[in-house]
Each structure stands twice: as C-alpha cells, then as structure tokens.
C-alpha cells in the first residue's frame, strides 16, 4: 500500500487537486468528508464532531486515527491512497507512521500546497459543494455552468457552516499552531514536495501530477 499526503492550509485546494488524481488510480480519503458523513447520519461521533468543526476546532486525534486505521486495515495489496486533511497534528503523523509500519505500507510523498492567507480567505468564503457527489466549486474561480447548481447532479449547491470569514480565520490559526509543524517533520524525512497553489486550478493540478510522476 502506498500513501501520498496532501498537506496545506484549509482552502489551499487539496480537494480540488484530489479530484483529478482519482482518475489516475488514487483512492481519495478526506477525513473532513468522512466526518461530514457522520454528521449527516447523525451518529454519536457526528454529533460531537459537528460542534468542534462548526467552531473551527479539530476533532480529537484518536477519532481520526481510528477512522484511518479502519480504512487501511482491509486494503488490498498495491492500493494507492491520497490523504487529504490527514495527518493534521504531529500525534496523527506519528500514528500514521506506526500504522504503515504494521501494515507494510509506504508514505511516498507529502505534497505541500502553498498559498497566501488572503487568497485562502477569498477561496473559502466563495466555496460551494455538492452534498450528493462532493464536487467542489467556487462562485468566481470555478463556477458551475448554472449558478448554485451542481453540474453532475443538477441539485442545489451548499455552503459549509465553517466557511464564514470568522471561522476561516480561526481555522487558519489552528493550522499554524497544530498542522504547520508537520512541514519540518516531513522535511526532515525528505518527503516534502512544495507546490505553488496560488495559480489557476489547472496549473496547480498539472504541477502536482508532475511531482507524482
Ligand atoms: P478544509 O477544507 O478546511 O481543509 P476539511 O474538510 O479537511 O477542511 O476539514 C473540516 C474540519 O474537519 C476541520 O476543520 C476539523 O474540524 C475536522 N477535521 C478534518 N480532518 C481532521 C483531522 N485530520 N484531525 C482533526 N480534525 C479534522
Ligand atoms: P481544501 O480542500 O484545501 O480546503 P478546496 O479544494 O476545497 O480546498 O478549495 C477551496 C476553494 O477554492 C474551492 O471553492 C475551490 O473551487 C477553490 N480553488 C481551489 N483551487 C483553486 C485555485 N488554484 N485557484 C482558484 N480557486 C481555487
């Protein structure tokens, strides 16, 4: 099993890049999407996670590590995973390393999407998503053909509860405090591949495809 991690602040474009890599044989794993599915199903985990997520805080490490452990333990030989939004803390990174060691898996690369703060705020405030298929749009930078409507499903697009300016700024602070330390952690292992994410979507996607060979 091989794993590629997409690292970067909220709004850098991790989900948008992941959409094209799925066509290249990767299984896209977004812990945010997995958590939102628990919220939709109103499970006890979802009810607890919703409060934290809506306030821009992380859910506890053991919850997300448990989700990743369940997913990896049954994976077929040779599967390639693309992790989007995991790991997000040093504890999660250490747990991932342990899991991969146990399962004979390899962390191949950590692709770091770099993007300035003001671009991020603009991207997240204008983000719209499809509740059915998960497609990600932006009102200006990546609009659907018909306003507020998913091109794939034809249903109305939604705005995430945590994509308000106030919560976005809180999430950026949490990123700086808890996730940014992963950059030097993975640099020390020689795994970081930086990408300029402040370019048009197709250029960012092409750069990522290039570094993944
Ligand atoms: P973004 O688009 O900001 O990168 P995600 O959809 O990846 O957002 O995550 C949304 C929220 O889900 C996060 O703000 C956090 O509350 C929670 N979350 C997702 N992944 C993790 C994780 N690995 N550890 C802790 N919390 C997480
Ligand atoms: P993340 O998963 O890192 O939180 P998303 O992929 O959801 O980020 O992207 C956040 C928002 O920014 C979405 O509305 C998306 O359409 C838009 N977006 C993503 N990449 C770019 C880009 N390179 N240029 C302009 N807008 C982008």
Q: Atom 1 in ligand 1: which residue has the minimum CA distance? A: 10
Mention every residue, 6+ apart, whose C-beta is less than 8 A from residue 36.
53
- Which of the four pLDDT bands, split at 50, 70 and 90, describes residue 134? confident
Pocket residues for ligand 1 (CB within 6 Å)?
10, 14, 30-32, 35, 52-53, 57-59, 64, 85-86, 88, 92, 171
| Contact by Cβ (8 Å): 195, 112 | yes
Q: Which two tokens stand for residue 31?
A: 């812990």
Going by the DSSP 8-state scheme, the letter that residue 199 receives in this structure is S
* Catalytic residue ranges: 14, 88, 127, 160, 171
Q: How far apart are CA 91 and CA 54, in angstroms?
A: 22
Q: Calculate the alpha carbon distances from 25 to 28, 33, 80, 107 in Å.
A: 9, 19, 7, 16
What is the structure's pLDDT at 139?
97
- Which of the four pLDDT bands, split at 50, 70 and 90, describes residue 68? very high
Question: Which residues on adjacent β-strands are paired with residue 5?
Answer: 83, 110
Entry pTM: 0.96
pLDDT at 34 over 90: yes
Q: Which contiguous run of DSSP H or E holds residue 33?
A: helix 31-40
Q: Distance, CA 32 to ligand 1 centroid (Å)? A: 5
**The 3-state secondary structure of 118-168, one letter per residue:** HHHHHHHHCEEECCCCCCEEECCCECCCCCCECCCCCCECECCCCCCHHHH
Q: How far apart are CA 199 and CA 210, in angstroms?
A: 15
Q: How far apart are CA 122 and CA 74, in angstroms?
A: 39
Pocket residues for ligand 2 (CB within 6 Å)?
8, 10-16, 123-124, 126-127, 136-138, 141-142, 197, 199-201, 204
Question: Which domains are present in the chain?
Answer: 2-115+178-211 (3.40.50.300)
Mean pLDDT of the residues in the chain: 96
Q: Distance, CA 123 to ligand 2 centroid (Å)? A: 6
Of 135, 113, 77, 142, nearest in space to 211 by CA: 113
Least confident of 2-11, 51-60, 129-138: 129-138
Of 131, 213, 121, nearest in space to 170 by CA: 121
What is the structure's pLDDT at 151?
97
Strand order in the sheet with 106-114: 27-30, 80-84, 2-7, 106-114, 192-196
What is the structure's pLDDT at 74?
86
Q: Quick check: bond before 87 cis, omega within 30?
A: yes
- Which of the four pLDDT bands, split at 50, 70 and 90, describes residue 77? confident
Mean pLDDT of 107-127: 97
């Amino acid at each position: 099993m091989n794993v590629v991690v997409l690292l970067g602040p909220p709004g850098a474009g991790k989900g948008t890049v992941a959409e094209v890599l799925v066509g290249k044989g990767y299984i896209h794993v977004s812990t945010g999407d997995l958590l939102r599915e628990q919220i939709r199903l109103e499970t006890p985990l979802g009810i607890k996670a919703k409060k934290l997520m809506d306030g821009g805080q992380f859910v506890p490490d053991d919850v997300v590590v448990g989700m990743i452990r369940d997913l990896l333990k049954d994976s077929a030989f040779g599967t390639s995973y693309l992790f989007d939004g995991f790991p997000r803390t040093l504890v999660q990174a250490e747990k991932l390393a342990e899991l991969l060691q146990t399962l004979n898996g390899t962390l191949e690369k950590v692709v770091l999407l770099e993007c300035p703060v003001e671009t991020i705020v603009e991207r997240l405030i204008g983000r719209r998503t499809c509740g059915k298929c998960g497609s990600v749009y932006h009102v200006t930078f990546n609009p659907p053909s018909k306003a507020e409507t998913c091109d794939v499903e034809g249903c109305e697009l939604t705005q995430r509860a945590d994509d308000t300016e106030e919560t976005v700024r809180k999430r950026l602070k949490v990123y700086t405090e808890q996730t940014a330390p992963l950059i030097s952690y993975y640099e020390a292992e020689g795994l970081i591949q930086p990408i300029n994410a402040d370019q048009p979507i197709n250029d960012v996607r092409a750069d990522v495809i290039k570094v993944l060979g």
